[in-house]
């Protein structure tokens, strides 16, 4: 699905995309598990060339993508660094991509200008040397994500995903979490809608730690949750408003095209237009913006995962339709300013 670009001059910082090569995982996941990975990911191989093709960053004909933030996804780990520090390999790889793009050969934009890596906070105090190694690996490294997605129904997440129940409540996790703030780093949280109370508890326990809730809190329309979005909407909305009362929490507006959320249900890439997608997402996006305000909310592509439901151009057109009633200052925050401030990349907008 292709569409004419709406508001083509509006600056965008895409604060959430991945780079990966899942091909080495094929032997490790016999069918149908690998089909599941490929279906939700939309691409087994997604590195700079694919990102450039989707964003057309700095080039004519696309949305005005001025920069992006890479989000960890367990790719390009370097086993030579040992089990705890192998995550440094991912940051080193992405820093190389950013340096490649900084040559100016690929358009006047800055992909991976911020890098969100991963450290296992279940190392407790042992997480600090890992965080310090990540900081040393790149000046673009801004924070970490340690996902906590879990559900009692194993079909919700599938074999490649999931963590133990109550990860963010674990005292050992919180011992490691303390070091994130001490080193001035951000924390991205991914968990599922029924778990949002865990993040609320964490945010209240660490009120000075900047936390970004990914994917509107991941409402579920998969497996045993299929067809229950309306039934669970009020519970989700209550959790969002409770989290918004914590001034240290921000929210990413996106991820709804994932297979987990099922908006749309028929993926991957069935050619839905931006008007249809905006109508599907409106209750969730508008609730998040109302609760957090534009200064603590940012649109995200979550690519290539959200390719399940939308092409890159159509995805951002849908977001622009959803932001139509907002002022220019509010749009600036939602599409670029909030991400720039939270991830410390205001230079992209100067």
Residue 240 contacts residue 288 (beta carbons within 8 Å)? yes
Tell me if 223 sits within 8 A of 185, measured CB to CB. Answer: no
Count: domains in the chain: 1
- Decide if 3 is inside a domain: no
Would residue 231 count as lying in a domain?
Answer: yes
pLDDT tens across the length of the chain (350 residues): 679 999 999 999 999 999 998 776 544 444 434 344 555 555 678 999 999 999 998 788 899 999 999 999 999 999 999 999 999 999 999 999 999 999 988 888 999 999 999 999 999 999 999 999 999 999 999 999 999 999 999 999 876 676 899 999 999 999 999 999 999 999 999 999 999 999 999 999 999 999 999 999 999 999 999 999 999 999 999 999 999 999 999 999 999 999 899 999 887 667 789 999 999 999 999 999 999 999 999 999 999 999 888 899 999 999 999 999 999 999 999 999 999 999 999 999 98
Contact 271, 1 (CB under 8 A): yes
pTM, 2 dp:
0.95
- Nearest by Cα to 109 from 51, 58, 62: 58
Beta strands in the chain (DSSP E): 11-17, 20-21, 45-46, 64-71, 110-117, 141-145, 186-189, 211-213, 249-253, 297-299
Pick from 321, 315, 335, 319: nearest CA to 2 = 315
Does residue 324 lie in a domain region?
A: yes
Structural domain contains residue 6: no
The enclosing domain of 120 has a CATH number of 3.20.20.140
Let me know if residue 2 belongs to a domain.
no
Residue 117 lies in a domain: yes
Task: Tell whether 4 is covered by a domain.
Answer: no
Q: Which domain holds residue 152?
A: 11-345
Residue 350 lies in a domain: no
């Amino acid at each position: 699905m292709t569409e004419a670009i709406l508001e083509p001059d509006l600056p965008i910082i895409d604060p959430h995309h991945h780079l990966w090569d899942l091909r080495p995982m094929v032997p490790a996941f016999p069918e149908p598990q690998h089909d599941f990975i490929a279906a939700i990911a939309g691409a087994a191989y997604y590195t700079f060339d694919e990102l450039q093709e989707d964003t057309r960053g700095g080039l004519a004909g696309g949305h005005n993508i001025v920069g992006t933030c890479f989000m960890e996804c367990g790719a390009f780990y370097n086993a030579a660094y040992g089990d705890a520090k192998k995550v440094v390999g991912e940051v080193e790889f992405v820093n190389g991509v950013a340096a490649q793009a900084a040559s100016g050969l690929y358009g006047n934009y800055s992909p991976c200008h911020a890098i969100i890596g991963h450290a296992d906070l279940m190392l407790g105090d042992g997480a600090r040397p890992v965080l310090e190694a990540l900081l040393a690996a790149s000046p673009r490294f801004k924070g970490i994500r340690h996902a906590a997605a879990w559900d009692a129904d194993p079909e919700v997440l599938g074999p490649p995903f999931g963590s133990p129940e109550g990860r963010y409540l674990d005292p050992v996790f919180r011992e490691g979490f303390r070091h994130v703030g001490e080193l001035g780093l951000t924390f991205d949280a991914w968990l599922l809608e029924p778990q949002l109370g865990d993040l609320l508890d964490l945010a209240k326990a660490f009120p000075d730690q900047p936390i970004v809730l990914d994917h509107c809190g991941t409402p579920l329309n998969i497996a045993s949750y299929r067809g229950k979005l309306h039934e669970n909407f009020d519970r989700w909305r209550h959790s969002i408003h409770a989290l918004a009362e914590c001034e240290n929490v921000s929210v990413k507006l996106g991820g709804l095209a994932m297979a987990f959320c099922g908006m749309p249900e028929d993926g991957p890439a069935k050619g839905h237009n931006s008007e249809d997608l905006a109508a599907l997402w409106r209750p969730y996006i508008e609730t998040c913006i109302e609760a957090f305000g534009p200064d603590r909310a940012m649109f995200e592509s979550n690519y290539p995962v959200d390719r399940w439901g939308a092409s890159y151009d159509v995805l951002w057109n849908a977001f622009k339709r959803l932001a139509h009633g907002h002022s220019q200052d509010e749009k600036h925050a939602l599409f670029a300013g909030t991400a720039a401030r939270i991830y410390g990349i205001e230079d992209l907008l100067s």
